[in-house]
A and B are shown apart, each in its own frame.
Chain A
Amino acid sequence: MWDFVHYGLGRWLHILFGMVWVGMLYYFNLVQVEALRKAALDSPPSGAGIMRHVAPRALLFFRWAAVLTWAMGAFILGDRFDDAFLFKEVAYVPIGIGAWLGTIMLFNVWVLIWPNQKKILGLTSATEDEKARARRVAFLASRTNTMLSVPMLFFMVASGGVFRTAMFGG
């Protein structure tokens, strides 16, 4: 029963929350950035609705899905957490790399993206110069996470059972 909860439900929820997190990340990078760039060129600019109604809601799911994804990943690792993060066992090297990439991405969400998005969205006070800087930092942190999502996903799917054997040998 514990294995069912630990590995079955745990992995299912890890992937479910991960889809919400990375889905929102890809929405920002593939859709919203370009949509806002085009909206800013309209006369008058037409991106206010996205900034007021869409972005805050997307960021809400984005940042909390990031926490839940990481927490479920840690739950699955359980007492093997240090084997993965400290690369103590050869078999845990792929998931260890994936876990580190996910951890860096979580850091970027809460330390770089969300505090700067609060300035951009007007949830905290900021001068126009501070907002301009916040836009650049949040953009680059978001793009960094998009870049890291490529190897992160690779190491997540190549980390167990027949998948690890196929990718890294027996």
Chain B
Amino acid sequence: MKNPLDSLWGTFAAGLVLTAVLYFLARTCMGA
């Protein structure tokens, strides 16, 4: 499988996915 970090699109897409995951994790931790 190709490393997503080898392309700029893959890098920013991975960043967006990580943002979404951490956002919902934070909301859960905060009881929101």
A residues near B (Cβ < 8 Å) are 29-30, 87, 90, 93-94, 97, 140, 143-144, 146-151, 154-155, 167-169
Contact = CB atoms under 8 A, between A and B. Distances in A.
Contacts of B15: 146-151
A147 B12 CA distance: 6
**Interface residue tally on B, bucketed by range:** 10 to 19
Contact of B5 (A87, A93, A147, A150): A147
Contacts of A146: 11-12, 15
B11 A93 contact: no
Nearest to B3: A140
Nearest to A29: B8
Say whether chain A's binding surface is mostly helix, strand, loop, or mixed. Answer: helix
Contacts of A147: 5, 11-12, 14-15, 18
A30 B7 CA distance: 10
* Max chain B Cβ within 10 angstroms of own Cβ: one of A144, A148, A154, A155: A154
Contacts, number: 53
Contacts of A87: 29
Contacts of B19: 150-151, 154
Contacts of A90: 29-31
Given A97-B22, A140-B5, 6 more contacts: A93-B30, A143-B5, A147-B11, A148-B18, A150-B19, A155-B26
A44 B26 CA distance: 52
Contacts of B22: 97, 151, 155
Contacts of B32: 168-169
Contacts of A149: 15
A150 B8 contact: no
B20 to A, nearest CB: 9
